[in-house]
C-alpha cells in the first residue's frame, strides 16, 4: 500500500500540535476506536430497554442507579449527547480521512507510473525476466496488444538513454473510487441521520426554549413551551384517534414526558377495521382517514394500512397501532358480597370510570379494555377440576405442569379495575362467551393484583339452560347461613333414606353438615383445610378431608334442589348435575379470593375502535437513501474492481524483457493472474 | 503515449456473451418464457413492485446461471421437480399425505426432511472423505450436497404452493418466519460453498461448512418436532410487503457467507495448529476464501440492511428506530467493516482474522437468533 505509507508515516517531530490533532482525527486508528465505542454503546441500548416509563426503571434499578443511569442518558442512548458527539466525531474523522486521501487517490488513479525505474521494478515481489530476440518495435506492438487484450490500459514510454522502452499498464483504477464512495457515504448517511435526529430540539431544550411536559393534562392545556410549531423541520410522533373523532396534534415522547407537535392539518378517523384470518390472527389493520389542510382547506380521503402510509406535503401518516376508542358496554352485575340471585344492570364505556356502591363502601370501576377476539391458550391451566385437587392446593405448594398449546378464539372480553375507597385496585378480565373445558361450559373471569402478574381465572359453571343464573342461585343458597339447617336436614333425609336410624345419629349428621356448610360459607376450601389442620391429627387429615368433602358435595346437591324448588324447577339427578354442583363448589370457594364486590357479566357491546397513527417528517430520509446508494456502489467498486498494474520494460540492448506487476489487494486471483501472464509472455516473446 | 485499441486493432478478451453455449441460451429462454408465463397467470394479483421483482429475479438468475454454470442445471432440476410436485396436488392440500410422490418425495414437509437428511449425510460423508483422503467419496459428498439443495428448494417451492392451497389470502413466499429462513440459510450456505468448491477445485472444506449447515438442520428438526414450527402461518400485516421478498434473501446470503467464512476460519485455525494440516488446503487458499466470503457477505448484508431500513420506513414510519434487531445488524456490520479494514488497509493476515471470523459468526447468530430470544422490539416475528 504505497500511498498509505506516504500518509501514515508522518515525521511527527516536525509537526505542530494542530497538525498532530489533524493526523489523529483523520487516522484509521481513531475511526476504528470510535466505531468500537459506537458498537458498545449500541449494545447497551439493546440490552437496557429504551424509552420505558421512568417508574419502571426505578422499580428495576432502585433510586440510586436509576439516577446514575439517567444522568448517563442510558434510557435513550441513541439520542444522548455523548452518543451524538461520537457520531459527530465519526463524521469529522471520516471527512478528514477523505480530505486527506482523496488527492492521493485521484493522482494514483490517473497515473500509469510510467516513470518507474528498472531498479524499482526489480524490487517488486511479482516479477520475471525473459530473453527474446525479437526487434523492439515488434515487441512493443505485441506486448501492447496483449495488455489491451487483457483489459489493461497501457502507456508506452519514450525510449530512455539506453534505448529501454517501458510499457506501463493498469486496470481497475476505479477501485479507488470505491474508497471515496463508501467513505463519503458514511458521512452522508450520518448527516442525514443527524438531521432527522432531534438535534435542533435538543438545542432548544438546552437553551430552555422548550420544556418537556410531564403532567397528564388535556392537550389544549399544554403550554406553548411544550409545543412545536407545524414548521418544525423533522419530527416523529403518534396520536390515537377514536372512530368519528379527529386530531390536529401528535405527541412526541421524550424521556419521562412528551411534547405536543401541532400539525398543519386536521386528521379525522372515519373507521378503523381489523380483519382476521380464519385462525384468528390479524390479517389487516386499516384506517379510513380524511385530512383537511388548515391553510388551503383542501381535503384528502384515503385508507391507510400497515405498509401503505399516506404522504401529504412531506408528512407521512402510518398505521401504527390500534386500541379502544370508548366501546360502550352493557353489563349484568352480580353482587358477590351479599349473594342474591338477581343481577342489576350496569353501563360503562372503555377508558371511563363508573361508581359503584355497596352499603357504605364505594368503588370505582375503571374500564380499561375491550377485545372483540381472543386467542387463548387454555391447555395446562393451573389446578385440576376435582374438589380434592382444589382442596389440595392449600396443602401443597405450586404445581409443575408442563404448559401445552391449545389455542382457541374465545370471543370478546373486557377488562376493568375495581378500586376501593383507599385507592387499592384489582384488575379483572372477563370473557363474554362461555368456554368449554372437557364438555362442560363455563364463564371465565380472571383476576390479578398487579399489572405484571398473570390473571388467575375463576370458572363459573353454566346451568342446563346455559346461563350463569343457576350457579348464582345455588351460591346464594349455599352462602346463606339461614338455609344451612334446611340443607342439612334435606341432606340427612336423603343420605339416610330408607334406613331406620336413630334420631341421635341423624341429629349428629345434621349438626356436622351445618358445621361444614358454615365453615365452607365462611371461607371455602381454604377455611375447611385450616379447620382440619387445626382440629384433626395429621395422620387422619386425609381421611377426614375425604369425608368432609363427600358431605359437602352431597349437601350441595341438596342445596341445589332447594334452590331449584324455589323457582319451581325439578332437578334431574345425573352426571351433568353432579358435575355442575362440583364445579359450583370450586367457584364458590375461589370467589373468596376474588376480592371484588361484583362479577360483571358482559351482556352487550357497541364497539368503538381507535386508530394509533404515527406521523413523521424526515427530510433526512432521502439524504440517507442517497448515501446508502453510494455505499453499496462503493462497496462493490472496492471488492470487485481489482486494481492491477503491469510494467514491461523492453531492453533491446540486452535482448530482455522485464515483467513486473503489482496490486493493492494481494489475493489468490492476483497470484493466478501473475502466473498466467508469465506463461503467456513466454509464448509471446518467442519468434 | 497512451496505447489504444484503435492503434493496435486487436482484442484477445472473449466477452461473456460470446462465450455462451446453446445450453446457456436455452436456459435463458426457459427462464424468460417461464417468467412471462407466470406473469400472464398471476400478473393480476401482483403490484408493480412484485412484477419488477419477478422479472429482475429472472434476469438475475439468467446472469447467475451464465456466470456459474452448474446453477443452470440446479435451477432446471428444481423447476421440473417442483412443477411435477405441484401437479400432484390437484389443488388439494390433503393429497400431500396421500399421493405417493408427495408423501415420499416432493410434499413440502417431506422434501425438507429429505434436505435435512441429505445434509447430515453429506456432512458425514465429507468427513469420511477428508479423513480417508478419498477423492471418490468427496465427489459423492458433493453430489449429496447438491441433492440436498435441490430437495430443499423443491420443499420451499411446494411449501409456497401449499400456503396458497390453505387459502389464497394465507399464501405467501416461504421466507417469512424463523423456520423458513433456516431452510433458506442452509440452502444458501450450501450453494455458496458449492460455488467455491468448483472455483477452487477443492472439496476438503465441505467437512467444515456442512457442520454449520447440519447445526442449522438440527435446529430445524428440533423446531419442527418440539414446536410444530413447520405449520404454515398466515402473515401478520407488517410482513405483507414486497420488501420481504428482497430484504430477507439478501440478509441470508449475508448470514450464509459469514457462516461459510467462520467455518473456513475454523479450518484455518486447525491447520495452523497442525491439526489436519496435510488434509486441508493451503493457508493462502483458506485465507483467500475467508476474505471472499466475508466480502460477498458484507456487500449483501449492507444491501439487506439498507433494504430493511427502507422497509421500516414504510411499515413503521422510520428508517431507523434503534430497534434491537436493527442495532444488532449495525453491530454485525461494524464488526465486519473492522475486519475488512484490518485485512485490506492494514494488510493483516493469519490466525487473528480467522478467530475474528469465527467470533463474528457468534455475533451474527446473536443478531439473527439471540435478539429474537432475549430482546424485545418491533421485530418480534420469529419468537422461539
Ligand atoms: C463507519 C466508518 C467506516 C466504514 C464503515 C468504512 C468501511 C470501509 C470499507 C468497507 C473499506 C473496504 C476495504 C477495501 O476494500 O478497501 C474501507 C477501506 C478503507 N477505509 Fe474505511 N470505513 C470507515 C471509516 C474510515 C475512516 C474514518 C477512515 C480514515 C482513516 C478509513 C480509511 C480507510 C482506508 C484508507 C481504506 C482503504 C481504501 C483503499 O485502500 O482502497 N475508513 N473502509
Strands A310-312 and A344-349 come out as: unpaired
Within 8 A of A282 by CB-CB distance, chain B residues are 236-237
Sign of CA dihedral A136, A140, A146, A152: positive
Q: Give the number of other Cβ atoms within 10 Å of residue B379's Cβ.
A: 19
CB contact under 8 A, A307 and B2: no
Within 8 A of B49 by CB-CB distance, chain A residues are none
> What is the grid cell recorded at A422?
383507599
Most confident of A245-259, A347-361, A662-676, B19-33: B19-33
Q: Which residue has the higher pLDDT, A229 or A500?
A: A229
Q: How far is the CA of A28 from the centre of ligand 1 (A)?
A: 8
With both helix axes pointing from N to C terminus, report the angle between B108-132 and B178-200 in degrees, rounded to the nearest 10.
40
What is the residue-level pLDDT of chain B in tens, covering all 384 positions? 666 655 444 444 556 777 889 999 999 999 999 999 999 999 999 999 999 999 999 999 999 999 999 999 999 999 999 999 999 999 888 888 888 899 899 999 999 999 999 999 999 999 999 999 999 999 999 999 999 999 999 999 999 999 999 988 899 999 998 999 999 999 999 999 999 999 999 999 999 999 999 999 999 999 988 888 888 989 988 899 999 999 999 999 999 999 999 999 999 999 999 999 889 999 999 999 999 999 999 999 999 999 999 999 998 888 998 888 899 999 999 999 989 988 888 888 889 999 999 999 999 999 988 888 777 655 544 444
CB contact under 8 A, A306 and B295: no
CB contact under 8 A, B331 and A4: no
CA B19 and chain centroid, separation: 27
> What is the grid cell recorded at A172?
481497475
Within 8 A of B306 by CB-CB distance, chain A residues are 625, 628, 631-632
Q: Which helix or strand (DSSP H or E) is residue A509 part of?
A: helix A503-535
Q: Give the number of other Cβ atoms within 10 Å of residue B54's Cβ.
A: 19
Chosen from B322, B362, B371, B376 to mutate, greatest number of chain A CBs within 10 A = B322
Q: Give the number of other Cβ atoms within 10 Å of residue A47's Cβ.
A: 12
Position A383 pLDDT exceeds 70: no
Short-list A213, A238, A217, A242, CA closest to A227? A213
Sign of CA dihedral B181, B186, B191, B197: positive
Q: How far is the CA of B342 from the centre of ligand 1 (A)?
A: 9
Strands A644-651 and A165-171 come out as: antiparallel
Q: How far is A575 from chain B (nearest CA, A)?
A: 37
Which residue of chain B comes nearest to A286, CA vs CA? B237
Q: A411-460, pLDDT tens digit by residue?
A: 899 999 999 888 889 999 999 999 888 888 999 999 999 888 888 889 99
Q: How far is B83 from chain A (nearest CA, A)?
A: 28
Atom 36 of ligand 1: nearest residue by CA position: B345
C-alpha–C-alpha distance, residues A307 and B49, integer Å: 13
> What is the grid cell recorded at A521?
360459607
CB contact under 8 A, B284 and A668: yes
Alpha carbon distances (Å) from A669 to A263, A564, A644, B289: 59, 93, 11, 11
Within 8 A of A614 by CB-CB distance, chain B residues are 316-317
Q: Which residue has the higher pLDDT, A31 or A622?
A: A622
Q: A597-635, pLDDT tens digit by residue?
A: 889 999 999 999 999 999 999 999 999 999 999 999 999
Short-list A508, A514, A457, A511, CA closest to A481? A514
CB contact under 8 A, A628 and B284: no
Q: Which residue has the higher pLDDT, A278 or B50?
A: B50
Q: How far is A430 from chain B (nearest CA, A)?
A: 26
CB contact under 8 A, A47 and B375: yes
What is the residue-averaged pLDDT of chain A?
A: 86
Nearest to A665 among B8, B310, B344 (CB): B344
Check residue A596 and give its pLDDT: 86
What residues flank ligand 1, with Cβ below 6 Å?
A 26-28, 31, 35, 93-94, 97, 101, 176, 179, 182-183, 186, 638-639, 664; B 337, 340-341, 344-345
- SS3 of residue B194 by DSSP: helix
CB contact under 8 A, B237 and A628: no
Cα angle, residue B38 at apex, residues B34 and B40 outer, rounded to 5°: 120
Check residue A95 and give its pLDDT: 94
In the block, residue with C-alpha cell 332447594: A562
Q: A179-208, pLDDT tens digit by residue?
A: 999 999 999 999 998 888 777 787 888 888
Q: Give the number of other Cβ atoms within 10 Å of residue A87's Cβ.
A: 18
Check residue A377 and give its pLDDT: 67
Alpha carbon distances (Å) from A90 to A24, A29, A177, A180, B312: 12, 12, 21, 16, 25
CB contact under 8 A, A144 and B3: yes
Nearest to A193 among B12, B240, B320 (CB): B320
C-alpha–C-alpha distance, residues A169 and A144, integer Å: 9
Strands A153-156 and B2-3 come out as: antiparallel
Within 8 A of B1 by CB-CB distance, chain A residues are 155-156
Q: How far is the CA of A642 from the centre of ligand 1 (A)?
A: 16
Kindly tell me the number of DSSP H helices and DSSP E strands found in chain A: 17, 26
Query: Given the CA of residue B333, which atom of ligand 1 is nearest to it?
Result: 5
Q: How far is the CA of A674 from the centre of ligand 1 (A)?
A: 27
Q: A461-472, pLDDT tens digit by residue?
A: 999 889 999 999
- Output the pTM of the full model: 0.81
Q: How far is the CA of B254 from the centre of ligand 1 (A)?
A: 19
Q: How far is B167 from chain A (nearest CA, A)?
A: 9
Within 8 A of B169 by CB-CB distance, chain A residues are 277, 283
Residue-level length of chain A: 687
Q: Which residue has the higher pLDDT, A285 or A47?
A: A285
Check residue B14 and give its pLDDT: 59
Q: Give the number of other Cβ atoms within 10 Å of residue B143's Cβ.
A: 13
Nearest to B319 among A4, A306, A624 (CB): A624
For a pLDDT cut of 90, what percent of chain A falls above it? Answer: 40
> What is the grid cell recorded at A567?
323457582
Residue A329: beta bridge partners?
A348, A605
> What is the grid cell recorded at B162?
401449499
CB B220 within 8 A of CB B179: yes
Which residue of chain B comes nearest to A38, CA vs CA? B331
Residue A331: beta bridge partners?
A346, A602
Nearest to A28 among B320, B327, B341 (CB): B341
Within 8 A of B310 by CB-CB distance, chain A residues are 625
> What is the grid cell recorded at A295?
391553510
Chosen from B3, B257, B321, B366 to mutate, greatest number of chain A CBs within 10 A = B3
CB A620 within 8 A of CB A195: yes
Q: How far is A281 from chain B (nearest CA, A)?
A: 7
Position A404 pLDDT exceeds 50: no
Size of interface A-B (CB pairs under 8 A): 152
Strands A299-305 and A435-437 come out as: unpaired
Within 8 A of B335 by CB-CB distance, chain A residues are 39
Q: How far is A549 from chain B (nearest CA, A)?
A: 40
- SS3 of residue B104 by DSSP: helix
Q: How confident is the model at residue A539 (pLDDT cuts 50, 70, 90)?
A: confident
CB contact under 8 A, A42 and B302: no
Q: How far is the CA of A36 from the centre of ligand 1 (A)?
A: 14
Q: How far is the CA of A75 from the centre of ligand 1 (A)?
A: 32
Check residue B11 and give its pLDDT: 43
> What is the grid cell recorded at B21?
453455449
Q: Which residue has the higher pLDDT, A126 or A403?
A: A126
Position A15 pLDDT exceeds 90: no
Amino acid at each position: 500500500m504505497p500511498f498509505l505509507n506516504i500518509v501514515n508515516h508522518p515525521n511527527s517531530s516536525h509537526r505542530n500540535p494542530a497538525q498532530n490533532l489533524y493526523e489523529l482525527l483523520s487516522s484509521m486508528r481513531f475511526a476504528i476506536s470510535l466505531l468500537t465505542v459506537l458498537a458498545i454503546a449500541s449494545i447497551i441500548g439493546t440490552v437496557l430497554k429504551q424509552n420505558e416509563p421512568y417508574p419502571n426503571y426505578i422499580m428495576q434499578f432502585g433510586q440510586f442507579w436509576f439516577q446514575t443511569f439517567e444522568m448517563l442518558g442510558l434510557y435513550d442512548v441513541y439520542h444522548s449527547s455523548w452518543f451524538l458527539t461520537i457520531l459527530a466525531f465519526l463524521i469529522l474523522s471520516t471527512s478528514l480521512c477523505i480530505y486527506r486521501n482523496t488527492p492521493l487517490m485521484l493522482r494514483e488513479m490517473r497515473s500509469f507510473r510510467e516513470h518507474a525505474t528498472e531498479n524499482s521494478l526489480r524490487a517488486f515481489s511479482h516479477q520475471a525476466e525473459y530473453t527474446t530476440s525479437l526487434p523492439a518495435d515488434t515487441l512493443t506492438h505485441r506486448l501492447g496488444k496483449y495488455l489491451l487484450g487483457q483489459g489493461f490500459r497501457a502507456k508506452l514510454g519514450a525510449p530512455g538513454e539506453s534505448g529501454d522502452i517501458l510499457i506501463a499498464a493498469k486496470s481497475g483504477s476505479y477501485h479507488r473510487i470505491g474508497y471515496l464512495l463508501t467513505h463519503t457515504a458514511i458521512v452522508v448517511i450520518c448527516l442525514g441521520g443527524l438531521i432527522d435526529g432531534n438535534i435542533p430540539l435538543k438545542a432548544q431544550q438546552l437553551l430552555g426554549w422548550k420544556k418537556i411536559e410531564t403532567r397528564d393534562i388535556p392537550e389544549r392545556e399544554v403550554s406553548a413551551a411544550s409545543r412545536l410549531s407545524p414548521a418544525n423541520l423533522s419530527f416523529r410522533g403518534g396520536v390515537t384517534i377514536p372512530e368519528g373523532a379527529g386530531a390536529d396534534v401528535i405527541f412526541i415522547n421524550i424521556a419521562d414526558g412528551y411534547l405536543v407537535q401541532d400539525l398543519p392539518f386536521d386528521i379525522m378517523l372515519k373507521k378503523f377495521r381489523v380483519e382476521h384470518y380464519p385462525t384468528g390472527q390479524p390479517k389487516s389493520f386499516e384506517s379510513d382517514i380524511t385530512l383537511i389542510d388548515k391553510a388551503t382547506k383542501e381535503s384528502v380521503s384515503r385508507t391507510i394500512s400497515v405498509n401503505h402510509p399516506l404522504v401529504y406535503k412531506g408528512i407521512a401518516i402510518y398505521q401504527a397501532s390500534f386500541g379502544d376508542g370508548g366501546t360502550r358496554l352493557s353489563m349484568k352485575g352480580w353482587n358477590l358480597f351479599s349473594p342474591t340471585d338477581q343481577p342489576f344492570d350496569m353501563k360503562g364505556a372503555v377508558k371511563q370510570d363508573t361508581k359503584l356502591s355497596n352499603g357504605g363502601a364505594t368503588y370505582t370501576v375503571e374500564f380499561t379494555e375491550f377485545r372483540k377476539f381472543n386467542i387463548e391458550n387454555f391447555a395446562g391451566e393451573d389446578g385440576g377440576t376435582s374438589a380434592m385437587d382444589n382442596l389440595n392446593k392449600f396443602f401443597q405448594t405450586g404445581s409443575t405442569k408442563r404448559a401445552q398449546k391449545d389455542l382457541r378464539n374465545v370471543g370478546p372480553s373486557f377488562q376493568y379495575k375495581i378500586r376501593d375507597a383507599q385507592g387499592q385496585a384489582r384488575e379483572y378480565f372477563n370473557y363474554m362467551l362461555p368456554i368449554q373445558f372437557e364438555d362442560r361450559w363455563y364463564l371465565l373471569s380472571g383476576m390479578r393484583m398487579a399489572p405484571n402478574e398473570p390473571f388467575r381465572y375463576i370458572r363459573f359453571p353454566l346451568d342446563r339452560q346455559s346461563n350463569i343464573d343457576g350457579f348464582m342461585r345455588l351460591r346464594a343458597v349455599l352462602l346463606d347461613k339461614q338455609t344451612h339447617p334446611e340443607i342439612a336436614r334435606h341432606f340427612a333425609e336423603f343420605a339416610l333414606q330408607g334406613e331406620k336410624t336413630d334420631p341421635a345419629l341423624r341429629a349428629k349428621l345434621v349438626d356436622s353438615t351445618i358445621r361444614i356448610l358454615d365453615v365452607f360459607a365462611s371461607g371455602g376450601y381454604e377455611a375447611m383445610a385450616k379447620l382440619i389442620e387445626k382440629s384433626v391429627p395429621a395422620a387422619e387429615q386425609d381421611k377426614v378431608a375425604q369425608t368432609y368433602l363427600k358431605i359437602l358435595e352431597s349437601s350441595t346437591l341438596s342445596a341445589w334442589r332447594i334452590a331449584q324448588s324455589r323457582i319451581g324447577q325439578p332437578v334431574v339427578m345425573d352426571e351433568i348435575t353432579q358435575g355442575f354442583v362440583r364445579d359450583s363448589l370450586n367457584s364458590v370457594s375461589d370467589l373468596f379470593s376474588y376480592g371484588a364486590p361484583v362479577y360483571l357479566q358482559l351482556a352487550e357491546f357497541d364497539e368503538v375502535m381507535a386508530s394509533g397513527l404515527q406521523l413523521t417528517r424526515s427530510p433526512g430520509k432521502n439524504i440517507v437513501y442517497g448515501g446508502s446508494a453510494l455505499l453499496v456502489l462503493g462497496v462493490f467498486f472496492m471488492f470487485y474492481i481489482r486494481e492491477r498494474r503491469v510494467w514491461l520494460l523492453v531492453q533491446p540492448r540486452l535482448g530482455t524483457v522485464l515483467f513486473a506487476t503489482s496490486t493493492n489487494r494481494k489475493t489468490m486471483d492476483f497470484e493466478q493472474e501473475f502466473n498466467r501472464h508469465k506463461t503467456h509472455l513466454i509464448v509471446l516473446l518467442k519468434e | 503515449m497512451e496505447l489504444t485499441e484503435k492503434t493496435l486493432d486487436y482484442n484477445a478478451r472473449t466477452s461473456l456473451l460470446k462465450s455462451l453455449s446453446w445450453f446457456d441460451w436455452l436456459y435463458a429462454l426457459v427462464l424468460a418464457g417461464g417468467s412471462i408465463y407466470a406473469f400472464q397467470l398471476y400478473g393480476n394479483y401482483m403490484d408493480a413492485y412484485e412484477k419488477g421483482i419477478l422479472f429482475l429475479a429472472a434476469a438475475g438468475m439468467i446472469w447467475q446461471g451464465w456466470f456459474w454454470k452448474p446453477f443452470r442445471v440446479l435451477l432446471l432440476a428444481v423447476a421440473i421437480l417442483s412443477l411435477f410436485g405441484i401437479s400432484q396436488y390437484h389443488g388439494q392440500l390433503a393429497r400431500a399425505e396421500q399421493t405417493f410422490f408427495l408423501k415420499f418425495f416432493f410434499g413440502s414437509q417431506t422434501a425438507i426432511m429429505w434436505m435435512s437428511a441429505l445434509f447430515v449425510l453429506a456432512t458425514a460423508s465429507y468427513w469420511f472423505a477428508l479423513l480417508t483422503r478419498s477423492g471418490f467419496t468427496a465427489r459423492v459428498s458433493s453430489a449429496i450436497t447438491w441433492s440436498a439443495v435441490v430437495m430443499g428448494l423443491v420443499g420451499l417451492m411446494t411449501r409456497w404452493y401449499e400456503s396458497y392451497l390453505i387459502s389464497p389470502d394465507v399464501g405467501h413466499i416461504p421466507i417469512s418466519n424463523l423456520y423458513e429462513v433456516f431452510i433458506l440459510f442452509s440452502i444458501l450456505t450450501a450453494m455458496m460453498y458449492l460455488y467455491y468448491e468448483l472455483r477452487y477445485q477443492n472439496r476438503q472444506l465441505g467437512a467444515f461448512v456442512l457442520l454449520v449447515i447440519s447445526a442449522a438442520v438440527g435446529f430445524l428438526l428440533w423446531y419442527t418436532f418440539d414446536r410444530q414450527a413447520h405449520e404454515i402461518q398466515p402473515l401478520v400485516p407488517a410482513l405483507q410487503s414486497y420488501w420481504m421478498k428482497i430484504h430477507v434473501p439478501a440478509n441470508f446470503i449475508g448470514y450464509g457467507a459469514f457462516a461459510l467464512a467462520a467455518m473456513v476460519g475454523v479450518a484455518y485455525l486447525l491447520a495452523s495448529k497442525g491439526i489436519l494440516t496435510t488434509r486441508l488446503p493451503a493457508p493462502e487458499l483458506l485465507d483467500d476464501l475467508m476474505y471472499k466470503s466475508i466480502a460477498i457477505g458484507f456487500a449483501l448484508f449492507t444491501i439487506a440492511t439498507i433494504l430493511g431500513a427502507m422497509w421500516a420506513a414504510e411499515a413503521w414510519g422510520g428508517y431507523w428506530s434503534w430497534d434491537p434487531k436493527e442495532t444488532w445488524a449495525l453491530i454485525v456490520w461494524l464488526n465486519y467493516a473492522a475486519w475488512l479494514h484490518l485485512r485490506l488497509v492494514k494488510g493483516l493476515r493469519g490466525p487473528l482474522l480467522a478467530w475474528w471470523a469465527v467470533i463474528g459468526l457468534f455475533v451474527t447468530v446473536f443478531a439473527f437468533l439471540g435478539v429474537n430470544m432475549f430482546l424485545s422490539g418491533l421485530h418480534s416475528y420469529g419468537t422461539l
